[in-house]
């Protein structure tokens, strides 16, 4: 009986392995992706097993078919032996100076209300003075800058957020979508798991929908509850990975009492 031709699975960090991981994360069959990219399923199979090597154009074509974010497109190019196409400039770099000015102006114009600049993993990179005051009330560890970790692990946040179950459900839905968009991001997957574990500890009240049109953040303070609605600004037109991964969260008072309290906090901070 002739021996079967068994092709070993490619290494995870290789181009074939990475392509397979991205395709699997998108829940696409080889045939689905091949049809989307207008190539043969046989050729795609050869690419995933390492029996064929892609051209730069093919890598870009596959990235487009997979709807990969810019960072993942760079990773796929590098795995195939090509230089990355999309720059990933440090936020402090001279190249992003004009963009930093835009961010500063947006945050200044939003004052006195809280504004938070975060990266794709919800690490706080910058915050307005009032936002820093509010964040301090959510931190067990002053060095913790990840908003999701605060929500899921901080006893201070558990005590301060009156509607913690709602906020966990809201963020779980948001991170779930972001993880799907990212295709293969271990950090987002870890944050999603942390949210799901926290939701098990803090379930929504019976009969309450996990997703509401507007979920206010309600904070307990010595002066009474503060209620905020938020909007998130993304910068999707940039071809720079750093800019594309940023999000600017702007909090707005949801009632007059919160509006008055924020004005008083800002005045006490001299802003």
Q: Is pLDDT above 90 for 199?
A: yes
Contacts of 112 (CB under 8 A, 6+ apart): 130, 262, 263, 265, 266, 271
For the CA atoms of the chain, what is the radius of gyration? 23
Q: Is pLDDT above 80 for 5?
A: no
Superfamily of domain 15-79, CATH level 4:
lambda repressor-like DNA-binding domains (1.10.260.40)
Return the C-alpha torsion angle 119, 123, 129, 130, nearest 10: 100
CATH hierarchy code of domain 94-269? 3.30.450.180
- Compute the average pLDDT of residues 241-253: 96
32-52 pLDDT tens trace? 999 999 999 999 999 999 999
Q: Is pLDDT above 80 for 105?
A: yes
Phi/psi at 104 (5° precision): -60, -45
Q: Is pLDDT above 70 for 9?
A: no
- Compute the average pLDDT of residues 193-211: 83
Residue 208 confidence class, pLDDT cut points 50, 70, 90: low
Tell me what percent of the residues of the chain surpass a pLDDT of 90: 83
Enumerate the domain spans of the chain.
15-79, 94-269
Report which of residues 10 and 44 the model is more confident about: 44
Query: Is residue 169 within 8 Å of 184, Cβ to Cβ?
Result: no
Query: Is residue 116 within 8 Å of 231, Cβ to Cβ?
Result: no
Residue 210 confidence class, pLDDT cut points 50, 70, 90: low
Query: Is residue 37 within 8 Å of 61, Cβ to Cβ?
Result: yes
Contacts of 53 (CB under 8 A, 6+ apart): 15, 47, 80
- Specify which residues 247 forms β-bridges with: 118, 234
Q: Is pLDDT above 80 for 13?
A: no
Per-residue model confidence (pLDDT) at position 31? 96
Angle between helices 56-66 and 30-37 (to 10 degrees): 110
Residue 62 confidence class, pLDDT cut points 50, 70, 90: very high
């Amino acid at each position: 009986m002739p021996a079967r031709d068994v092709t070993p699975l490619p290494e995870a960090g290789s181009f074939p392995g990475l392509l397979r991981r991205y395709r699997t994360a998108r829940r696409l069959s080889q045939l689905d992706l091949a049809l989307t990219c207008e190539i043969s399923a046989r050729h795609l199979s050869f690419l995933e097993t390492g029996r064929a090597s892609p051209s730069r154009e093919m890598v870009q074509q596959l990235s487009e078919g997979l709807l990969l974010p810019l960072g993942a497109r760079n990773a796929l190019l590098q795995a195939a032996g090509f230089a990355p196409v999309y720059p990933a400039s440090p936020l402090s770099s001279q190249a992003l100076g004009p963009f930093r000015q835009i961010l500063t102006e947006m945050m200044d114009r939003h004052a006195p209300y809280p504004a938070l600049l975060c990266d794709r993993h919800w690490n706080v990179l910058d915050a307005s003075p009032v936002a820093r005051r509010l964040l301090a009330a959510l931190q067990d560890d002053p060095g913790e800058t990840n908003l999701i970790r605060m929500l899921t692990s901080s006893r201070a946040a558990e005590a301060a957020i009156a509607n913690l179950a709602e906020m966990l459900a809201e963020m779980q839905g948001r991170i779930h979508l972001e993880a799907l968009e990212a295709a293969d991001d271990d950090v987002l997957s870890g944050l999603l798991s942390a949210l799901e574990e926290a939701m098990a500890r803090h379930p929504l009240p019976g009969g309450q929908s996990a997703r509401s049109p507007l979920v206010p953040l309600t904070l307990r303070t010595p002066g009474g509850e503060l209620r905020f609605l938020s909007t998130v600004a993304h910068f999707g037109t940039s071809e720079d990975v750093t800019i594309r991964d940023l999000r600017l969260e702007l909090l707005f008072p949801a009632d007059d009492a919160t509006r008055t309290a924020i004005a008083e906090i800002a005045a006490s901070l001299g802003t």
